[in-house]
Chains A and B, each alone.
Chain A
Amino acid sequence: MTDTLIQGRTGPWEIVLGLEVHAQVASRAKLFSGAAVGFGAGPNAQVSTVDAGFPGMLPVLNRFCVEQAVKTGLGLNAQIHRTSRFDRKNYFYPDLPQGYQISQLYHPIVGEGALEVERDDGSTFTVGIERLHLEQDAGKSIHDMDPHSTYVDLNRSGTALMEIVSRPDMRSAEDAAAYVRTLRTLLRALGTCDGDMEKGNLRADVNVSVRRPGEGLGTRCEIKNVNSFRFIMQAIEYEARRQVEILEDGGKITQETRLFDPGRGETRSMRSKEEAHDYRYFPDPDLLPLVLEEAWIEEIRASLPELPAARRRRFAEQYGLTAYDAGVLTAEDERAAYFERAAGGRNAKLVANWTVNDLLGRLSAEDRGIAESPIPPETLGELVGLIEEGTISSKIAKTVFEKLWAGEGSAREVVEREGLVQVSDTGALEAAVDKLIAANPDKAEAVKSKPQAIGWFVGQVMKETGGKANPAVVNALLRARLGID
């Protein structure tokens, strides 16, 4: 792991990272009220008197949200606590009308677990999960609608969040991003959170500290609410460098909360939060302890879908895919389903190549997901089938792919209509090969001492036949005619 160290003026430093990910539960209603959860509604249109903190209103816990927390806990191989409790975290802010956030500090619903994370190169590492707890989200303050006032929209107030706290197990910005990516894939596969970072439905607080390799943990700073993979990496890189510079100048790191400014690519102190750090947590007297029946937990366990890590391993083993392809194809449920439908009975590695390189490449260039693919999986499978049986070459297949993308029919229809069937007929190809050798006696002579020059001849025959010649047949013919073994 030496490549992840920061080289300072006075020697190397190691970055230590722990993340708190806030994942919005994919519920219809809020954690403690019957108001709707959703994006884009008019201001305060999704607010009940509970969410607005009216006096005397009592919270009633949403069963579905509890189930999603348990499901996520099981997906993280974590301990599910049969008894958990809710606490009040007290602070004043206009978008927190209750004057406290209901959270689970002392007795979270989910305890220790672990997540196996895969890097792009296929290597893996494990991130320890410290806990997962349920809590309420706050509302939204808007500071730019009026020069003297703050406008408050409570639509988000009371929305259920799962806070997933990792151990400080990551050592580079890339690994932190890989962790969030893997966690997001898991949440989406479980269906417990939609993972939409643009809408703020998944966001991370990043704890950053640095130390000399082998030494104890340094003082950490917490960067709040970072909501994209790119910003997570930028914030970490900047913050780690800032800390190294302070320490190398003989200074000390002050434990504090910082904000990442994407415009400037830097973190800065949120001094206003300093004083509020005394949250005076205490058990919420409005809520009884949450006791889970073992039977319910088992029922939830039985409903778990195949998880991304298991699916990735299965794809690698069953289909012989590379770690990279298996990772890409299992990153989303829809991708995995698409691939499996296209690969049925075909050369799976070839199907994986076409799915990852051609189809996903093309889709992402147009900012579309695989669900919006103009080419159905059966059609892509058919295309690969035509390559496998030698009806078309890989090169012609690219042309066919373009026509399939444009919606011009099935693979076989396109090939027949456009006359793209590969020429494997020896007679026709022999004539072309003979003509070519006769016209280029010097090159034919040269190939005998330099066999790799045969490529030029193959290229010429392909050109002659408009790319339709079967390259394997052409190669064999040329070798025979030119006297190469």
Chain B
Amino acid sequence: MAVDAETVRRVARLARIAEPEARLDPLAREISGILGWIEQLNEVDVEGVEPMATAVHATQPLREDVVADGGDPARVLGNAPRSDDGFFVVPKVVE
């Protein structure tokens, strides 16, 4: 599977990564190379094998419905570049 510069531009935008115009073609070649390498896996016959979402053989652990966390706004705001009156403050995003 080959990826072109346009696809790289779109994926970078979706991931909020700024890529200069000059990097798009080289990146497209690199990504295409990686995808081609991974595509070799398609040669394995997986007929009748259940798709796997995890390599861990365990069941989902469940928590009880008990309040045991939160209640400490200063702690969650501690690393925020800006906060005010208990809120995170970020550059204006207008809907």
Chain A residues contacting B59 (CB-CB under 8 Å) are 288, 291
A151-B89 in contact (CB<8A): yes
CB distance from B44 to the nearest CB of A (A): 19
CB distance from B15 to the nearest CB of A (A): 9
A62 to B70, CA, bound (A): 16
What 1/0 flags go to B1-43 for Cβ under 8 Å of A? Answer: 0000000001001101000000000000000000000000000
Main secondary structure of the interface of A (DSSP, over half): loop
A412 to B45, CA, bound (A): 84
What 1/0 flags go to A285-300 for Cβ under 8 Å of B? Answer: 1011111000000000
B63-A143 in contact (CB<8A): no
A278-B60 in contact (CB<8A): no
B73-A42 in contact (CB<8A): yes
A148 to B92, CA, bound (A): 5
B interface size (C-beta, 8 A): 38
CB distance from A84 to the nearest CB of B (A): 10
> Taking the complex as formed, is A272 at the interface, i.e. its CB lies under 8 A from any CB of chain B?
yes
A148 to B91, CA, bound (A): 7
Most chain-A CB neighbours within 10 Å: which of B16, B65, B73, B86?
A: B65
A259 to B69, CA, bound (A): 35
Chain A residues contacting B48 (CB-CB under 8 Å) are none
> Taking the complex as formed, is B46 at the interface, i.e. its CB lies under 8 A from any CB of chain A?
no
A198 to B69, CA, bound (A): 27
Contacts A44-B77, A150-B89 hold; do A64 and B69 have CB atoms under 8 A apart? Answer: no
A267 to B94, CA, bound (A): 18
Contacts A28-B66, A47-B76, A94-B93 hold; do A288 and B58 have CB atoms under 8 A apart? Answer: yes
Chain A residues contacting B82 (CB-CB under 8 Å) are 149
Chain B residues contacting A45 (CB-CB under 8 Å) are 70-71, 73, 86
> Taking the complex as formed, is B47 at the interface, i.e. its CB lies under 8 A from any CB of chain A?
no
Residue on B nearest A90 in the bound complex, by CB? B14
Contact of B67 among A34, A85, A152, A259 (CB under 8 A): A34
List residues of B (48-68) whose CB comes within 8 Å of A's CBs: 53-54, 56, 58-68
Chain A residues contacting B13 (CB-CB under 8 Å) are 275
Chain A residues contacting B60 (CB-CB under 8 Å) are 61, 287-291
A45 to B89, CA, bound (A): 16
A149-B77 in contact (CB<8A): no
- 8 A-B pairs, CB-CB below 8 angstroms? A28-B65, A34-B63, A34-B69, A43-B86, A49-B69, A61-B60, A63-B63, A288-B60
Residues in B lying within 8 Å of A, measured CB to CB: 10, 13-14, 16, 53-54, 56, 58-71, 73, 75-77, 82, 84-95
Known: A153-B87, A283-B53. 4 other contacts (CB 8 A): A35-B69, A141-B93, A150-B89, A289-B60
